[in-house]
Amino acid sequence: MTTRKENFAEGEYYHIYNRGNSKQIIFLDDQDRDRFVKLLYLCNSGKNINFRDDITERGIDAFDFDRGEQIVSIGAWVLMPNHFHIYITPRRGLGVEDDNFLANFIHKLCTSYSMYFNRKYKRTGKLFEGVFKSTHVESDEQAKYNCSYIHLNPVKLIDSLWRENGIQDIKKALEFLDTYKWSSYLDYKGTKRSENKIIFPEDFPDYFSDKKVFEEEIFE
């Protein structure tokens, strides 16, 4: 898998996006989504972690594995059927030879998931559509919009035109998001779960002061 050549500066924030090759579905069931979510946690490390040897063979939960110091901070994330979004900022980790820590993390994440997916479904070839896309988030307004957009992305699954027409039924959208576990939305709402370990909101500006404000302002 080709890696990005540009540097991602420490202390800066980025919206990362990647999708399946030819827009193919990359998450076919909850087992696939669960593996990717656990890789979000495990690959954020300077260690070389083998899921089968370090997790499966030892019979432990991925979130209980001591991955050491993380190399990036994740502020928000979401999985959709054929793509994912991550809001992220670089951190200097341990044991990483490449100076481009953010690109190193995404490369490990996508490569590890591609190996799992190809092995499970007995396929070969690229799973993702080339090099991941990135947008430099340069203002608080852009950052707040970005964080909201990531968390509202799953609404597409019940209303494909919500971006064009706006969310017509906010109550229905909230009820759906409360049942959609494949994003950091529940973490921002204060739900206690293992996936809380993926994000580090303290490394990002405080866009939403509390749970009530978060639920209200993501719809602006």
Task: List the chain domain ranges.
Answer: 13-120, 139-217
Tens digits of residue pLDDT in 108-123: 999 999 999 999 999 9
**pLDDT of 208 strictly over 90:** no
- What average pLDDT does range 174-193 have in this prediction? 94
Strands 72-80 and 13-19: unpaired
The SS3 assignment for 122 reads: coil
**DSSP label at 166?**
-
For 133, counting Cβ atoms within 10 Å of its Cβ (0-12 exposed, 13-18 middle, 19+ buried), the class is middle
**pLDDT of 74 strictly over 90:** yes
Q: What is the pLDDT of residue 6?
A: 60
> Among 51, 77, 18, which Cα is nearest to 199's?
77
Q: What is the pLDDT of residue 209?
A: 61
N residues, the chain: 220
Tens digits of residue pLDDT in 81-94: 999 999 999 985 44
Please give the Cα distance from 67 to 64 (Å, whole number). Answer: 9
- The token duo for 204 is 């990002």
> Among 195, 207, 158, which Cα is nearest to 78's?
195
- What average pLDDT does range 20-42 have in this prediction? 97
